[in-house]
């Protein structure tokens, strides 16, 4: 009979696996890529604070990066030659391995993932007019140039990995859900930002810094558990 501790551990592992990742461990911190992620996230936070930039610059760049990832994921699904459905259902009916089914799943992903980001864009736009969080300059040029760099990077990755990925049989549900983990840090940051802004009205610390630290903390955590 399984003990409560073993069951709890199993549930945690299932939760992290659902996000496309694994539980943080001591072994993880021996990886160069993990330290690279930690240092890069720390540098982003320090740069934003020292240069007195608005946290919105970071959030908008992350938003554009997420949209770019979603667009390329859409084309990845469409370009699949062989794939496994792994029990995927649409309207309670098993998905068949047909071209029409692949196009349906890709289109559903595009609109569903896009809708999330449309809503987040509305929230981020609303934050611009809110005092405190919008302290610092909203650097449109910096945001667009950084996003362009991300686009070129993902385009190159898509082109150079195309043949390799075509040779592998990929899981359609896993491929479809992979980008959604990026929604979690932004989603929670927007929710928690409301509480921070309410607190700022009563003389709390600069909300720009607090919201930045919340976002970077959540992003770092998701980077760690999804790091391969």
For the chain, the domains span 57-226
CA dist 22 to 16, 27, 42, 183, 226, Å? 5, 12, 22, 18, 6
The per-residue pLDDT of the chain, averaged, comes to 74
pLDDT of residue 184: 82
pLDDT of residue 178: 82
pLDDT of residue 227: 58
User: Would you say the C-alpha torsion 37, 40, 46, 48 has a positive or negative sign?
Assistant: negative
pLDDT of residue 103: 86
Q: What are phi and psi of 89, to 5 degrees?
A: -125, 150
pLDDT of residue 23: 55
For 102-130, what is the mean pLDDT? 86
pLDDT of residue 130: 61
- Greater confidence (82 vs 152) lies with 152
Question: What band does 56 get if pLDDT is binned at 50, 70 and 90?
Answer: confident
Q: What is the pLDDT of residues 60-72, one digit of tens each?
A: 888 898 899 899 9
């Amino acid at each position: 009979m399984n003990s409560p501790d073993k069951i709890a551990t199993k549930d945690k592992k299932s939760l992290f696996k659902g996000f496309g990742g694994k539980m943080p461990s001591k072994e993880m911190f021996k990886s160069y890529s993990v330290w690279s992620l930690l240092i890069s996230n720390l540098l982003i936070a320090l740069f934003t604070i020292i240069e007195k930039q608005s946290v919105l610059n970071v959030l908008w760049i992350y938003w554009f990066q997420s949209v770019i990832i979603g667009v390329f994921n859409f084309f990845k699904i469409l370009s699949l030659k062989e794939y496994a459905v792994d029990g995927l259902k649409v309207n309670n009916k098993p998905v068949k391995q047909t071209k029409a089914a692949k196009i349906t799943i890709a289109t559903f992903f595009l609109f569903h993932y896009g809708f999330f980001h449309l809503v987040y864009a509305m929230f981020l736009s609303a934050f611009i007019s809110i005092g405190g969080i919008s302290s610092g300059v909203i650097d449109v040029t910096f945001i667009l140039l950084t996003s362009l760099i991300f686009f070129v990077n993902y385009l190159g990755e898509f082109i150079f990995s195309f043949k390799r990925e075509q040779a592998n049989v990929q899981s359609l549900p896993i491929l479809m859900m992979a980008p959604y983990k990026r929604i979690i840090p932004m989603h929670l940051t927007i929710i928690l930002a409301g509480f921070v802004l309410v607190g700022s009205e009563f003389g709390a610390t600069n909300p720009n810094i607090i919201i930045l630290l919340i976002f970077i903390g959540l992003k770092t955590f998701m980077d760690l558990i999804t790091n391969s």
